[in-house]
């Protein structure tokens, strides 16, 4: 508890932390709103035949918000390598796994708080924007609400997704022993599959990549329609991302434990 309080104080007093949390929430809402403005039932034979997953569309801004979440996780330890304050930190905490666990707890809480604000704002924006595009309850698209089971799962899963990519950033930065390597590695890992999948000519390899790559698998939790056509189930997909985050933290912890500052 004492170590977590110290890490909380350190991260809270960094000049950019507040802006990062604001960016996480604001970019999630703004990007989701922009996506919703571009979709209209007028482009479909009938509103019901759009077959749009409106809760998932409302939460599509999580793809943008995750960048701030990754930066938050990376800076939680990468910033200390950059300023050379990691040496006194490690001297004060000989049990380095405990240090990483404390950082992970603080990063998770902050990412969850900002992520909750962003997800709530996105759903609220969806209730206002979607009907303007013809996505009304009468057309078969009820307003996004957390009182609806699938939407609640998509919302909660989106918050967990942001927490997990932040922890992925923390683990990668610990393994890379710096900000640049951690940030480049995680963003490259997250965005590799969306770039590569359309280039693959083999449907089986496309499905495998979407099933095991962290971003496509993790964001499957947002789906509320046609779940049987997903390469991986909503919670199973989030489990894939959790495995990537756990692997990064284990690797980062091993590097932290074995190497000097």
The answer to whether residues 249 and 74 touch, using CB atoms and an 8 Å cutoff, is no
Torsion of CA 127, 142, 62, 250, to 10 degrees: 140
The answer to whether residues 24 and 118 touch, using CB atoms and an 8 Å cutoff, is yes
pLDDT of residue 194: 78
Q: Is the pLDDT of residue 119 over 70?
A: yes
The percentage of residues in the chain with a pLDDT greater than 70, rounded to a whole number, is: 94
Predicted TM-score (pTM) of this structure: 0.93
Pick the residue with more confidence: 80 or 125?
A: 125
Exposed/middle/buried for residue 120 (C-beta within 10 Å: 0-12, 13-18, 19+): middle
C-alpha to C-alpha distance for 168 and 241, rounded to whole angstroms: 9
Pick the residue with more confidence: 41 or 208?
A: 41
What are the C-alpha distances in Å from 19 to residues 8, 36, 114, 250, 253? Answer: 16, 25, 11, 29, 27
pLDDT category at 1 given cuts 50, 70, 90 is low
What are the C-alpha distances in Å from 221 to residues 4, 30, 117, 208, 215? Answer: 30, 20, 18, 17, 11
Q: Number of folded domains in the chain?
A: 1
Q: Is the pLDDT of residue 186 over 80?
A: yes
Average pLDDT, the chain: 90
Q: Of the ranges 45-59, 72-86, 192-206, which one carries the lowest mean pLDDT score?
A: 192-206
What does the pLDDT look like over 222-253, one tens digit per residue? 999 989 899 999 999 999 999 999 999 999 99
Domain that holds residue 69: 2-258
For residues 165-177, give the mean pLDDT.
Answer: 95
What are the C-alpha distances in Å from 188 to residues 40, 176, 183, 211? Answer: 32, 14, 8, 17
C-alpha to C-alpha distance for 184 and 123, rounded to whole angstroms: 30
Q: Is the pLDDT of residue 204 over 70?
A: yes
What does the pLDDT look like over 75-114, one tens digit per residue? 999 877 777 777 777 777 768 888 899 999 999 999 999 9
């Amino acid at each position: 508890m004492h170590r977590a309080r110290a890490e909380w104080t350190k991260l809270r007093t960094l000049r950019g932390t507040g802006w990062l949390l604001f960016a996480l929430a604001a970019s999630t809402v703004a990007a989701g709103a922009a996506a919703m403005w571009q979709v209209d039932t007028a482009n479909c034979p009938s509103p019901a035949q759009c077959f749009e997953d409106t809760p998932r569309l409302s939460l599509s801004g999580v793809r943008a918000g995750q960048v701030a979440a990754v930066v938050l996780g990376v800076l939680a330890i990468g910033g200390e390598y950059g300023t050379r304050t990691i040496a006194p930190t490690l001297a004060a905490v000989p049990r380095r796994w405990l240090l990483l666990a404390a950082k992970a707890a603080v990063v998770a809480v902050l990412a969850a708080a900002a992520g909750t604000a962003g997800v709530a704002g996105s759903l609220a924006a969806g209730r206002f924007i979607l009907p303007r595009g013809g996505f009304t309850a009468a057309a078969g698209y009820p307003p996004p609400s957390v009182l609806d089971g699938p939407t609640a799962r998509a919302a909660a899963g989106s918050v967990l997704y942001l927490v997990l990519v932040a922890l992925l950033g923390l683990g990668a930065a610990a393994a890379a022993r710096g900000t640049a390597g951690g940030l480049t590695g995680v963003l490259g890992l997250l965005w590799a599959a969306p770039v590569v999948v359309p280039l693959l000519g083999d449907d089986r390899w496309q499905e495998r990549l979407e099933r095991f790559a962290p971003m496509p698998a993790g964001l499957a939790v947002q789906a509320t329609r046609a779940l049987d056509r997903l390469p991986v189930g909503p919670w199973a997909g989030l489990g894939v991302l959790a495995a990537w985050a756990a692997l990064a933290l284990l690797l980062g912890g091993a590097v932290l434990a074995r190497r000097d500052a």
